[in-house]
Structure 1
Amino acid sequence: MAKSGDFVEYLNQERLSMDSDPPFCQTYKALFDKISENPCNKVVTVEECELPLVDLSRLDLDESEMEECKREIAMASQEWGFFQVINHGISRDILEKLREEQVKVFRQPFDKKSTEEKFATGCYRWGTPSATCLQQLSWSEAFHIPMTEISDSGAFSSLSSAMEQFAITVAGLAQKLAGILAEKLGQKSTFFKENCLPSTCYLRMNRYPPCPFYSGVHGLMPHTDSDFFTILHQDEVGGLQLVKDGKWISVKPNPEALVINIGDLFQAWSNDVYKSVEHRVVTNPTVERFSTAYFFCPSYDTVIQNSEPSVYRKFSFGEFRQQVQEDVQKLGHKVGLSRFLLSHK
């Protein structure tokens, strides 16, 4: 890790670097100046581990294998809030084509990415506009794309085609996993078929540029996801970390697997049986990282409730999202499910 005194030199280098990178240092210069005045060079070592790995091909075997596979999915969702799946039905060709097209679009000049008619403000995002300190800054850029807009993305038609193939197959996987998790709660999966539609879900393609001068900057700041669950396709660089047993652990990438993590809505819907776990992405000093996330969401008017006695009051997804946005604006961070506890005052 470079010392804080290297900031000015790095800033000058950034001005001369690839014009595809967002201007992090210029935009957030005041935040980095604070660190230069009060340097913090502590590097925390985080243990690496492998997430529970579930082979979904077992769902097509005899009944005992199928039930054991379902049990493993439910147990990982309870104990980890994260797990990996292989033989998930999304071909390597689809995943490789999506990654290839994703890299191409992020290689576009920054001015083009941020002003392209379809991939413009509201879809292309970078940094953290509300950040008041470096701990709130996400050193990353992303395209946030609703499923309904995938087939109409202007100049990037080849990317649209790759995303569309991925979206169709990953939506089927999402419904399969939701059905299993609902079944293990004794609930019916029709809830998800009725409320989590292509029009309510979205993709986010992420790029995490190298950040060589300060280890305290996150690629993505610690958070929980606000959906039912997220399906992640990541490269082999690594950087995803999550909280397990009160400490941060680093997820070892598996090129054959997709990562699944439970979101806030599923924790509430399951009455705290399944866990929405805090996670983050750490920066890499020399190597960029790519990932694509599929967020399994309901419509805003979908009501989240469960059987009595319930831990949470009844609320809609729209109400939840609005509360999250208000908290981020006022406090600089998400509060999340604790706002909706029946015991919350």
Structure 2
Amino acid sequence: MELLSNALAHRSVPDRYGFPPDKGPVLLAHDHSPDVAFPVAAEIIRAGKEFGFFQVVNHGVEEGVVRGFREAAAGFFAMLAEDKLPYCSYDMSKRFRLATSTFYDSGETRYWHDYIKFRGYPASNQNARHWPSKLVNFTPSLVEYSAAVHELAQTILCLIAEGLGLDGTFFTGNLSRGDTHMSINYYPPCPDPTLTMGLLAHCDRHLLTVLSQADVAGLQARHGERWLLVHPIPGAFVVNFGHQMEIVTNRVLASMEHRAVTNSAAARMSVATHVHPTDGCRIRPASEMVDEAMNPARYREFAFREFMEAYDAADASREEVLQSFMINHD
């Protein structure tokens, strides 16, 4: 597996990473982004309806906890190629795997990033035995980080429930009790950011994502016909809603497409924590979100496991995967 992180520097963009002009990045130097930094119920719902994204500060996750795990994750990508090789795999059933680009919607064109995907919370022995043992600080820093972000995510979910007029414990059962999956994307400096993309446009399949992007910009969120750059706020987490949130709230809260662009000046690393329903969780619009006369249920009931399979079959296409679960009211 040819990893981008194995090279000390890249002097040009290989042809296999080049996108045609109509599918390439739109690099925005100055634009407006959904910088909502107030972790209160009303502001969360307002941001969710408008953008599907918001940023939180004063969140209670200590700076040292975030820095400690980000340093451990950066240390993983900096390991020698032969030390990373045992973790390389495109087998999605593996509990810790390293890969490059993405097989969604890529065809022959590759995306400019390496990534690791793994299960981070709870830190069970079954999960932890797959984590890299050569980095002595990886496991303890991950345990601390994942527990802190899990607590933050549960607080956010309680605030979302409150803002929607639901019981405060609405999301605390099977809707958020699956193993927390984590994705760490590493984007090396790119010799020509106009030629390639870091990550394809997609919506997350999960309930909620809590992202640490540190101080290097690259995340863009779709807002209507525009792509908005989500400017980094010192110490903030970026939060966005996944498909399950949109379905459970009967489209009151939006799951917006997002993507990543590259830059030539600095490496960028994002750490994403995805809150999962349990595989067998039954997903449907909450009864409180449904009015048969004015706002009927937009989606049928299904098991989360079924959605995961449909998402993969649709190559992460927002329209195609949601179409499988929509109720036609025509």
Same fold per TM (> 0.5)? yes
* Count of matched residue positions in the alignment of Structure 1 and Structure 2: 308
Matched residue, 1:259: 238
Q: 1:84 aligns with which of 55, 60, 76?
A: 55
Q: Is the Cα–Cα contact under 8 Å of residues 20 and 107 in structure 1 kept in the other structure?
A: no
SS at match of 1:311: coil
- The answer for the alignment partner of 1:314 in structure 2 is 301
Alignment of 1:180-329 (within 5 A): 180-196=159-175, 199-213=178-192, 215-306=194-285, 307=287, 308=290, 309-328=296-315
Q: State the Cα RMSD in Å.
A: 3.3
Tell me the SS of whatever aligns to 1:190: coil
Tell me which protein shows more helix as a share of its residues. 1
- Whether the 8 Å contact between 1:20 and 1:110 is mirrored in structure 2 is no
Q: Which has the larger radius of gyration?
A: 1
Q: Could you tell me how far 1:249 is from its partner in structure 2?
A: 1.2
Counterpart selection for 1:139 from 107, 112, 118: 112
Residue 341 (structure 1) aligned with residue 302 (structure 2): no
Could you tell me how far 1:82 is from its partner in structure 2?
0.4
Q: In the alignment, what sits opposite 1:61?
A: none
Counterpart of 1:132, as a letter, is: G
Q: Give the deviation of 1:183 after TM superposition.
A: 2.3
Give ranges in structure 2 of 5+ residues lacking alignment.
Answer: 291-295
2:228 aligns to what SS in structure 1? strand
For residue 52 of structure 1, report the CA deviation from its aligned partner.
Answer: 3.3
Q: What is residue 97 of structure 1 aligned with on the other side?
A: 68
Amino acid at match of 2:312: Q
Between the aligned partners of 2:245 and 2:176, the Cα distance in structure 1 is 16
Structure 1 residue ranges (4+ consecutive) displaced by more than 6 angstroms after TM superposition: 38-43, 117-121
Q: SS where residue 156 of structure 1 aligns? A: coil
**Cα separation, 2, equivalents of 1:249 and 1:279:** 9
CA drift at 1:116: 4.2
SS where residue 185 of structure 2 aligns? strand
Structure 2 distance, partners of 1:344, 1:327, is 23
Cα pair 2:177 2:276 within 8 Å, conserved: no
In structure 1, distance between residues paired with 2:52 and 2:25: 26
Change (3 A) 1:78 1:341: same
Percent of paired sites with the same residue: 27
Unaligned runs of 5+ in 1: 1-13, 57-68
Q: TM-score, normalised by structure 2?
A: 0.82
Residues 167, 119 of structure 1: alpha-carbon distance in 2 compared, 3 angstrom cutoff: farther
* Local SS of the residue matching 2:184: strand
Distance in 2 (alpha carbons) for counterparts of 1:107 and 1:159? 13
TM-score, normalization: structure 1? 0.79
